[in-house]
Amino acid sequence: MIAQEIRSLHEQLRGSGARLVAVSKFHPVEALREAYDAGQRLFGESRVQELLEKIPQMPADVSWHFIGHLQTNKVRPLIGRVALIESVDSLRLLDIIDRESLRAGITTRILMQLHVAAEQTKTGFTPAELLDYFRSRRFESLKATHICGLMGMATNTDDTARIRADFHAIRATRDEILTLCPDLRGFDTISMGMSGDWPIAVEEGSTLVRIGTRIFGRRQY
């Protein structure tokens, strides 16, 4: 099942410009190995402790993305362990990531999480907050962090027009930021799309889809 889903998703994403992040949170390492054996090399996890336990149990050529809400006191153990932190949702968190990366002597790649969905429970910057941040060029003070783009989620709804509008808003915010700061380098990642809505996200310009349930089945919390 897992291997079949991985192959099918790789097939469907071929030529789309989007890569697959297999979201393996709450699933055992055996499930990740099945995905690995089917060719998957990029995994997404949302809890620091769980991620740190899984890393040594998987082959070294796996890349990891952190996609969950990151508490500032969990930043230090994460630095240097992941290819991308997708879920930076506050400037305070960004500052701490920068400080800890500088301390570790490495550059951390991050995405800023954008809140466009209807649910209040979802975290992230509003488009206006992000545009302010880039307009004021505060990113220039970062010493050891590279902002690679944006991550966002659509409203959890069956209304595909609303889903498409949310993804469109994420893409439009990315484009506006690039218009404000045409000299931004490597600001090219748009992480959007999950099990239920990824085809719409790809149509709207996603470069990373984060898919869990469709590959691994339901999570046992």
Site for ligand PLP, rule CB under 6 A: 23, 25, 46, 67-68, 194-195, 210-214
Q: How far is the CB of 187 from ligand PLP (least distance, A)?
A: 20
CB of 185 to ligand PLP, least distance (A): 25
Closer to ligand PLP by CB, 9 or 130: give it.
Answer: 9
Q: How many residues does the chain have?
A: 221
State how beta strands 189-191 and 19-23 pair: unpaired
What's the min distance (Å) between Cβ of 95 and ligand PLP?
22
- Nearest-angstrom CA–CA distance, 92 and 82: 20
Give the amino acid at 201: A
- Residue 67 Cβ vs ligand PLP, minimum distance, rounded to whole Å: 4
Which residue lies nearer to ligand PLP by CB, 94 or 114?
114
| Both tokens assigned to 25 | 């949170």
Q: Which residue do the tokens 């910057």 mark?
A: 125
* Comparison of 69 and 99: residue with beta carbon closer to ligand PLP: 69
**Phi, then psi, of 156 in degrees rounded to 5:** -80, 90
Residue nearest to ligand PLP (CB): 212
Quote the tokens at residue 193. Answer: 């799309």
